[in-house]
């Protein structure tokens, strides 16, 4: 399907915003500078985005949508459940540690209005998390993940820098069982997998403590996250 002129123009404006954001930071990047870099008028930017916060909200939304599209593409190729999760890990980790994602996180940290942080968090939870929960639910339904914590893992935290929080126990969902309980179990396992996958890696990259891992390191960390999840909640029977 052909893209509209506005879609193309928005991409050009947002690409200019990213360049300036990486060069100058959030405080040093104004709408006029973005307009000049994108060869657009101030009127166009304010009409389309409202203000600088609105523009960065659009960047966050588009970035989350691209992550969902990449993960969905793996599922469209016929992968489901654990196989889809194995392919989602490198996509997700690579996306949240990309230059653009790190720039957005730094912008949220520098935003004195406090509006970007919640938008960034909500974009992940509303756009990306439901798809991941669906994939984990498939792994449970296929019998590739269990709901009982492996006895040898009781009382132990995951290796590395992740903390499973409340997930370090048998997963029962709600007392009534059924779909609501199944959803709760899939959600807990998804959040554990995310903790194992990401840990404090993202915040350390955003704050400049470390440089983002290369694709080979991302692939290795992603594989280990799935392996550790299976160690905690192995298939039953």
Is residue 162 assigned to a domain? yes
Asked, for residue 237, whether it belongs to a domain, the answer is no
Q: Give the three-class secondary structure for 94.
A: helix
13 and 129 assigned to the same domain: no
- Count up the domains in the chain and report the number: 2
CATH code of the domain containing 189? 1.10.357
DSSP 2-29: PPPHHHHHHHHHHHHHHHHHHHHTTTT-
Domain co-membership, 85 together with 188: yes
> For position 66, what pLDDT does the model report?
87
Alpha helices in 77-154, H assignment, sequence order = 81-96, 99-110, 116-123, 129-141
- Here the CATH number for the domain that contains residue 40 is 1.10.10.60
| Phi-psi map region of 186: left, alpha, beta (phi>0 left; psi -120 to 50 alpha) | alpha
Distance CA 105, CA 88 (A): 21
pLDDT in tens, 10-35: 999 999 999 998 888 888 889 999 99
Same domain, 15 and 104: no
Pick from 27, 50, 73: which residue ends a domain? 50
CB atoms near residue 130 (< 10 Å) = 13
Same domain, 143 and 210: yes
Same domain, 45 and 67: no
44 and 67 part of one domain: no
Please give the pLDDT value at position 161: 44
Over its length of 237 residues, how does the chain's per-residue pLDDT go in tens digits?
667 888 899 999 999 999 998 888 888 889 999 999 999 999 999 999 999 889 988 988 888 888 889 888 877 787 889 999 999 999 999 999 999 899 889 888 888 888 888 888 888 888 899 999 999 999 999 999 999 888 877 766 554 444 444 445 666 554 444 545 678 999 999 999 999 999 999 999 999 999 999 999 999 999 999 999 999 999 986
Q: Which residues, 6+ apart, have CB-to-CB distance to 224 below 8 Å?
A: 160, 196
Do 217 and 178 share a domain, yes or no? yes
Report the predicted TM-score, pTM, of the whole model to 2 decimal places: 0.83
> Looking at residue 233, what is its pLDDT?
93
Q: How far is CA 11 from the centre of its chain?
A: 21
Which among 109, 182, 101, 96 is positioned nearest to 147, based on CA atoms? 182
Is the residue at 55 inside a domain? no
Name the residue range of residue 43's domain: 1-50
């Amino acid at each position: 399907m052909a893209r509209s002129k506005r879609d193309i123009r928005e991409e050009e404006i947002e690409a200019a915003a990213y360049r300036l954001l990486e060069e100058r930071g959030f405080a040093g990047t104004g709408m006029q500078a973005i307009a000049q870099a994108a060869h657009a008028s101030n009127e166009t930017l304010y009409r389309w985005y409202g203000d600088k916060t609105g523009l960065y909200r659009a960047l966050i939304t588009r970035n989350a949508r691209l992550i969902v599209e990449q993960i969905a593409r793996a599922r469209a190729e016929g992968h489901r459940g654990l196989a889809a999760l194995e392919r989602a890990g490198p996509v997700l980790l690579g996306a949240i540690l990309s230059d653009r994602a790190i720039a957005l996180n730094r912008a949220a940290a520098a935003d004195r209005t406090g509006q970007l942080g919640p938008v960034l968090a909500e974009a992940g939870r509303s756009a990306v998390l439901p798809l991941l929960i669906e994939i984990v639910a498939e792994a449970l339904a296929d019998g590739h993940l269990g709901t009982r914590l492996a006895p040898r893992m009781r009382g132990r935290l995951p290796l590395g820098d992740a903390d499973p929080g409340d997930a370090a126990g048998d997963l029962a969902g709600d007392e009534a069982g059924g779909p609501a309980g199944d959803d709760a179990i899939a959600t807990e396992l998804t959040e554990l997998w995310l903790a194992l996958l990401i840990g404090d890696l993202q915040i350390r990259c955003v704050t400049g403590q470390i440089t983002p891992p290369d694709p080979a390191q991302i692939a290795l960390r992603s594989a280990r996250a799935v392996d550790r999840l299976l160690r905690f909640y192995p298939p039953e029977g």
